[in-house]
Structure 1
Amino acid sequence: MEEHPDGMTDTPARLLNLLSLLQTPREWPGTELAGRLDVSPRTIRRDIDRLRGLGYPVEATRGSVGGYRLVAGAAMPPLLLDDEEAVAIAVGLRAGAGHAIEGVDEASVRALAKLEQVLPSRLRHRVSSLQNATLPLTRGDGATIDPRTLTVMASAVTGRERLRFAYRAGDGAETRRLVEPLRLVSTGHRWYLVAYDMEREDWRTFRVDRVSEPVATGARFTPRALPGGNGEDGENGKEGENGREEDAARFLARSMSRMQAGLRIDVTFRAPAHFVAARLPSVLGAPEPAGEDSCRLRAVSTDSLEWVALRLALVDCEFTAHEPPQLVEYLSDLGGRLTRASSAAP
């Protein structure tokens, strides 16, 4: 502990408070920082030098209105959040993760797991109360998931801990599983866990909305290599983590294609490819240009016929479905129902 004649004598605590102030998007005069922390401007200058020595890019400007501000650096500094900020972030991450909204991927779930790990009980209660009192509006037929299920699973993936849970299969059969979790993968409207099943001694994929009572056992494991994968650890491990993410996504895609024959979709859109690609879920793939103002999508989807039809309609442009016949028929019936609904309105 460093002794000072003025104000705060606990240097680590003072540095954390100073860093918290600097994370506010504004420029702080040295005198104002000194007043906030109840120390001298000389102590503030010395603390700024300490933060720079720790790798925080603190920029100083000279002049009568000069001051200090934290700028973007090479690495992400630890964020210091107040109660309201922590609750807002946790609620937002829970809402997105719980419905597997497209674009909210495993990184968001890992962030939520880290945040909830350190949330004080009073804030955790506020987060749960806010979420229970709100009803999000979601598209498609994505199943709702308890965010706690995702955070427990994400923590087990990150900590490389074996995971035990109850699982309900598609035919309704209930089983208990003990797995080594490799990755959580979002397809845009559902979450899946890719894991090594200890009892079956083989790799499996699990729909997270069918998982209940997940518990991290505390037993550590060394990640196994997926069949056909190449995600071995590099020198710093980063390369291996990226490799495992790609391997898990490919393994899930292969697993889903084996489970279902899939719909072989062939659709022509009366709009440029970039317009359509921005409005289609990535799981359906990218359309190919077929002229100046049209494009064609050829893909295989394991999702329901109804979901595919609705996602095509949500592109918001004219289109023609060529294949499969059941999709063409469904779109024709859907169009008829919509036409009758609109003509019947007063």
Structure 2
Amino acid sequence: MTTTTTYDGAGSVARLPVWTPAKDTPHNGNRAGSDLQALSTWWRRAAIGTGVLTLLLGVIGLVNSYQAVKHAAEPMFGWLAWTVPVGIDLGIAVFTGLDLVLAKLNMRPAWLRLVPWSLVGVTIYLNIADEDTWFGRVGHAVLPALWVVAVEVATHAIRTHARLTSTKKRMDRIRVSRWLLAPVPTLGLWRRMVLWEVRSYPDALARERDRLLAKTRLQDTYGSVSWRWKAPRRARALYRLGELAPTAQHEQVTAAEAPVRDEPTAARRQRPARAGRKPAGRKTTRKPARKLLADYVADARAVWTPGIEVTPAWVRSVTDCARGTSKAVADALRTEVGTPAAAGNRTAENGREAG
């Protein structure tokens, strides 16, 4: 996965992680030779015996095909009837060998491979043309097929040993169980594998996972349906191409193309509250603890100096206590400092409290 840098009209820079498909690993041409050398003595004998039996079956099919085609061609070709099966059956082997030689020289035409297969169809048809029963048709069709199979096996062995196999990795097949369990998504997966040349099935599954995560991110950012037209065009193009990684920040593609959405919650919290409007949310301030009589007496004692007459009014002015509490605080403070209250002031104070 690589990163591309894009510039919008406003001069902002956005970085998008882009999927980079893995390079196909070519087949190792030395594998066939190394496997052949690694065979034990027993396996070498088995391979030689299998090859000899395959050649024998091919010769049996060639002889039977020769006799059947020669017999069918005698009324029309006369003494040259033997050239018909020889030309057709040997033509299969000759043109197959010519295809191998030209492939080794990098001169192989694409249509040359069709010539042996055309001769295969001709020889099978000529073998069953004069047969009236299904037994004869099947028997005369299978025997020349043995010769064709022997030629194809030899061709494959030579092509592999000479490293003439294609270095282009074949496309992996999707399991049948996936087609049965999820036919529609599997059809989309197979379509994307074909369109974008994703030859590895595990790589295709990884890209499909990233595609779904990228789609989910687009839906979360721009809406479950509206992302198809509200998302930035570059993000949508990368998503359709299958190159948008799930960690891409779609909202940073371009500042100009990004849609205007509601302010985030953090911005609303930082906005100053309007006058006369209580701030939303729970109150975090606690009520102050209730002060006792001793607390008021201590506050008043800290302020009192000799020469100050201790009265309830003076206590209220220095401690902000209630009217009913100020009398008790004044009496307690006078007791501590040993200052008696004046009779007139006491009488006046008591009259104001009674009033």
* TM-score using structure 2 length: 0.19
* TM-score using structure 1 length: 0.19
Greater fraction strand: 1
Greater fraction helix: 2
